[in-house]
Chains A and B, each alone.
Chain A
Amino acid sequence: MSKPSVTVEKICLLAGKIMLASGAETYRVEDTMDRIAQCYGVENPQSYATLTGLHFSLDYTSSSYFLRITKRATDLHKIDEVNQLSREIVANKMPLSTAYDKLKALEKNVPAFSLSFQVLAAALVSGCFSLMFGGIWPDFLPACLAGGIGYLTMILFDKMIEIRFLAEFFGASFVGLIALSCFSLGFGGSLEMIIIGAVMPLVPGLPITNAIRDLMAGHLVSGVSKGIESLLTAVAIGAGIAIVYGFFPV
């Protein structure tokens, strides 16, 4: 131990925090923390992760450390890198300070894709989904337009407003507005197909999958809360579309 300030529990908590904040499954977080601790010679590491907080202690009776998770996002890249790093730590018995520095660098990592590229991807995804769900070619471009702008709106609102689920609500209502105006201007074959395709980028795919996987792994608290989170997001999307229909009945 070169630096006295870097301890095993600090590394474990940091790794767990990065993974949880990027949307990893709870059991993967606990598993990674335990593995790192065991590789540094801790016999009975105790870790407990929920969606909003992390607990870790080195032994049954030693003092427990707590870390609060406030902001959660979806970043599969970071989950993958922490996973890779934890394998390296276990394989090479990395010195504590090196591991800590690497984790700190990882935490500050910028997303792999720029915002404009993500919006472009969202637009393409929307167009493709409207084709897959039974739309015809004239639906493709309106769906792209509505989906891209809807996704951009969601990201911008997410940065501006701290209330959860409101971003999805506004994103969906923009999707509805644009799809409706495209359709009434004569573009596209069916309004339904445009909206179904364009709403797909807003769908909470990761929380849904994670909720199922966590419930199966026996993490009932995290599984249920993730399920509720994705249910509320779905309701927000539905309400966003519904409000457009409410104002402009078709």
Chain B
Amino acid sequence: MLEIIVQLAASFIASAGFGVLFNAPKKSLIPCGLVGMTGWIFFYTLTNHQVDIVAATAFAAILVSILSQVCSRILKRPIIIFTVSGIIPLVPGGVAYNAMRNFVENDYNTAIQLSAQVMLLAGGIAIGLMFSQVINQIMTKLQKAKQ
């Protein structure tokens, strides 16, 4: 339980902090942190329940992009502000680092395996981001159809 609280706090600070690094508007920092926190906790719980890391990344990215869509509609700000800070915790930094380190240590077999995993994880993020675009377009078409 304590671990979950630490993860919640850490991911909130990390996502809001990234908002500061990218000069996000001051009022959007807390939503940025919340989006990042929800996405990360979802990812964390999924991986703890033995879901494959690529699938977990894709699902978390879908959640992040839906939340960003909601935030951008409510606060009337460009969606990119929220997606960037929300997606950052899902970027496979650790795997990419390990791949690079294995390249340096001349262990090419492991390095190439890890690089392939990085590619798949990046693909998972892309699928997640695409999903929100799909929902957004369906929503706008439905709204237009109603009018």
Which A residues fall within an 8 A CB radius of B? 24-25, 28, 74-80, 83, 87, 111-113, 117-118, 121-122, 124-125, 128-129, 131-134, 151, 192, 195-196, 199-201, 203, 205-206, 208-210, 212-213, 216, 234, 238, 241-242, 245-246
Are B17 and A76 within 8 A (Cβ)? no
Smallest Cβ-Cβ distance to B128: which chain A residue: A212
Are A83 and B133 within 8 A (Cβ)? no
Q: A125-B17, A200-B88, A216-B133 are in contact. Are A131 and B24 (CB under 8 A)?
A: no
Give the residue among B25, B26, B89, B133 with the most A Cβ atoms within 10 A.
Answer: B25
Smallest Cβ-Cβ distance to A131: which chain B residue: B10
Whole-angstrom CA separation of A34 from B24 in the bound complex: 25
Main secondary structure of the interface of B (DSSP, over half): helix
Known: A124-B17, A129-B89, A200-B91. 16 other contacts (CB 8 A): A74-B23, A76-B23, A77-B24, A112-B23, A112-B25, A121-B21, A128-B9, A131-B10, A203-B93, A205-B85, A206-B80, A208-B91, A212-B126, A234-B96, A242-B103, A242-B104
Contact of B81 among A76, A199, A245 (CB under 8 A): A76
Determine if B138 is an interface residue (Cβ-Cβ < 8 Å).
no
Determine if B84 is an interface residue (Cβ-Cβ < 8 Å).
yes
Are A80 and B78 within 8 A (Cβ)? yes
Chain A residues within an 8 Å CB radius of B6: 131
Q: A76-B81, A205-B87, A242-B104 are in contact. Are A111 and B93 (CB under 8 A)?
A: no
Q: Chain B's nearest CB lies how many Å from the CB of A76? A: 4
Chain B residues within an 8 Å CB radius of A129: 10, 14, 89, 93
Chain A residues within an 8 Å CB radius of B70: none
Are A216 and B130 within 8 A (Cβ)? yes
Residues of B within 8 Å of A, CB-based: how many?
Answer: 48
Taking CB atoms and an 8 Å cut-off, the chain B residues in 58-110 that contact chain A are 76-78, 80-81, 83-85, 87-89, 91, 93-94, 96-98, 100-101, 103-105
Are A128 and B10 within 8 A (Cβ)? yes
Determine if B20 is an interface residue (Cβ-Cβ < 8 Å).
yes
Enumerate the 8 nearest inter-chain pairs by beta-carbon distance, A residue then B residue, closest first: A238-B100, A125-B17, A121-B20, A128-B10, A128-B14, A121-B17, A242-B104, A76-B24
Give the residue among A83, A200, A216 with the most B Cβ atoms within 10 A.
Answer: A200
Contact of B97 among A76, A87, A124, A195 (CB under 8 A): A195
Determine if B13 is an interface residue (Cβ-Cβ < 8 Å).
yes
Whole-angstrom CA separation of A28 from B72 in the bound complex: 14
Chain B residues within an 8 Å CB radius of A122: 17, 21
Whole-angstrom CA separation of A166 from B123 in the bound complex: 27
Whole-angstrom CA separation of A150 from B20 in the bound complex: 16
Whole-angstrom CA separation of A155 from B141 in the bound complex: 44
Chain A residues within an 8 Å CB radius of B78: 24, 28, 76, 79-80, 83
19 intermolecular pairs with C-beta atoms under 8 Å apart: A24-B78, A28-B80, A74-B22, A74-B23, A76-B22, A76-B25, A77-B23, A80-B25, A113-B23, A124-B13, A131-B6, A132-B44, A192-B97, A200-B14, A200-B88, A205-B22, A205-B84, A241-B100, A245-B101
